[in-house]
Amino acid sequence: MLPSPLAFVDVETTGTNPQTYLPPEITRITGITTTDLVTAPSFSQVRESLRELLDGAILVAHNARFDYGFLKHEFMRHEIRFSAKQLCTLRLARSLFPSLPRHNLDTLIEHFHLPCKRRHRALDDATAMYHFVVKAMENTAFPKVIKTILKKNSIPIHLTGSDIAALPEAPGVYLMYGENDLPLYIGKSKNIRERVLSHFGADLTSSTEMKISQQVKRVDYKETAGELSALFLESRLIKSMLPLYNRKLRQSRKMTLLKKERNADGYERVTRVPFISGDALEELSTIVGICKSDREAKEFLYAVAKDFSLCPKLLGLEKAGTSCFYHRLGYCQGACIKKENFLKYNMRLITAFSSSKITPWPFKGAVVIEETSLSNLREYIIADNWCVVGSIKADAEGHQDEAIHHEGFDVDTYKILRGFIKYKKKEVRILPLSDISLAHLKLQSIVG
């Protein structure tokens, strides 16, 4: 019934960091002490023999993705590629014995009287799993179930094939929820089902992906007309729902603007100005950069000063009355003491900030960006001066949902719009708002 030898594995861990101290709560649960670890071999010492034992075998473990993920990660740290089919005894128990109140290893040991001298010790738990599989093989449904598990072992234990099948192969946003409907992760894709499955691939190497796979209980989705609509929706949902593992877009809304102004001597100087995402952003021509924090702004300015021979005093990084520190090091060419011609200095400053400054809005006024999906789902995004002020979604039957945003300036919105207009504008239709029939799109409440 099984095409390969079985390797029964149980991994006891202190978390995601090996060779560290043993938390007291782990000792209370497992009975393992720091003394036990001191005398035990490291993974490095047993990796070759372990690889020989696992080579060509089906890895059997209770909640196999957990154990497999740790093993794969440890092999990778030693530059060893490791891949194996997985047989999850937790999934096996749920499939063959659905009437059991629970399917954790404690329940299986008690219900089937499996031998286990010391619970939460790797060898003893692995032995218990072996006896459970022997018991499971007596079930007439075992051959069919084992074939299904080995084929679909990439789906997390709390989800089913029908959960995945319900996801559309269309653009949109997916939302992963954990215990008590806690938002775990929000993402976007041109193909929702394909992207969700990619999180649960058999070869887990990311600790974050491993945690999501272990905790996800439900996946929801919101279909959009295209990638641009999905990008905006993803950004809004992450900021409003604060999912646990979306670290990139969960950053503080407090940012720092870098603004230029000319002093009395004709030199362009840069100042750091606090900014709250969503506020109105005026005088775009004076803004030469946006940073997530004042610390990031300072680091950026020091790097620019060094790379382009600019003056830290004129960049607002020093207040000394004499020459700046970079001039004494030979980086600054003397603008701080009026030694360098201000026109030459200003030209170099413009070059230095050319890639970080805010691009001027490329249209004369507000525009409507239209996306249409293969299923004839249409979305209209109303944008002006890098701000999204409203949107409308219309399905194939003509039913419309409209939203008023008035978000003000948001750096993520700016980056999304700028990138799409620059590189992907052929994928959408962009029209001046004045050319659109307001009655047809029902935009009066948004722009009026």
The DSSP secondary structure of 89-155, one letter per residue, reads HHHHHHHH-TTSS--SHHHHHHHHT---SSTT-HHHHHHHHHHHHHHHTTSTTHHHHHHHHHHSTTS
Same fold, 6-151 and 161-250: no
Distances, alpha carbon 81 to alpha carbons 1, 6, 84, 91, in Å = 28, 19, 10, 26
364 SS3 class: coil
Determine if residue 283 is left, alpha or beta; phi over 0 gives left, psi from -120 to 50 gives alpha, anything else beta: left
162 SS3 class: helix
- The CATH label, of 3.30.420.10, 3.40.1190.20, 3.40.50.1000, 2.40.160.40, for the domain at 6-151 is 3.30.420.10
* Integer Cα distance of 65 and 90 in angstroms: 11
Position 170, amino acid: A
Please state the domain extents for the chain: 6-151, 161-250, 255-352, 367-447
* Integer Cα distance of 325 and 405 in angstroms: 47
Q: Give the domain 161-250 fold.
A: GIY-YIG endonuclease (3.40.1440)
Cβ atoms of 409 and 277 within 8 Å: the answer is yes
> Which runs of consecutive H residues, i.e. helices, occur in 277-353?
294-307, 325-329, 342-352
* Integer Cα distance of 433 and 440 in angstroms: 12
pLDDT at 86: 86
Cβ-in-10-Å burial (0-12, 13-18, 19+) of 38 comes to exposed
Neighbours of 221 (CB within 10 A): 17
- Both tokens assigned to 35: 């003394």
CA triple 76-81-86, angle to 5 deg: 100
Q: Which residues contact 202 (CB under 8 A, 6 or more apart)?
A: 68, 83, 86, 153, 154
Local mean pLDDT, 10-residue blocks, the chain (448 residues): 84 73 80 82 89 91 86 83 86 94 94 91 93 94 86 73 86 95 95 86 66 92 94 91 81 81 95 82 82 91 94 92 88 93 96 89 91 87 89 75 66 90 88 67 44
Neighbours of 384 (CB within 10 A): 15
- Both tokens assigned to 428: 């959408």
pLDDT at 106: 93
pLDDT at 389: 85
Can you give 232-282 as a three-state secondary structure string? HHHHHHHHHHCCCCCCHHHCCCEEEEEEEEECCCCCEEEEEEEEECCCCCC
* Integer Cα distance of 125 and 143 in angstroms: 24
pLDDT at 1: 62
Determine if residue 45 is left, alpha or beta; phi over 0 gives left, psi from -120 to 50 gives alpha, anything else beta: alpha
Sheet holding 287-291, edge to edge: 268-276, 254-262, 287-291
DSSP state of 138: T
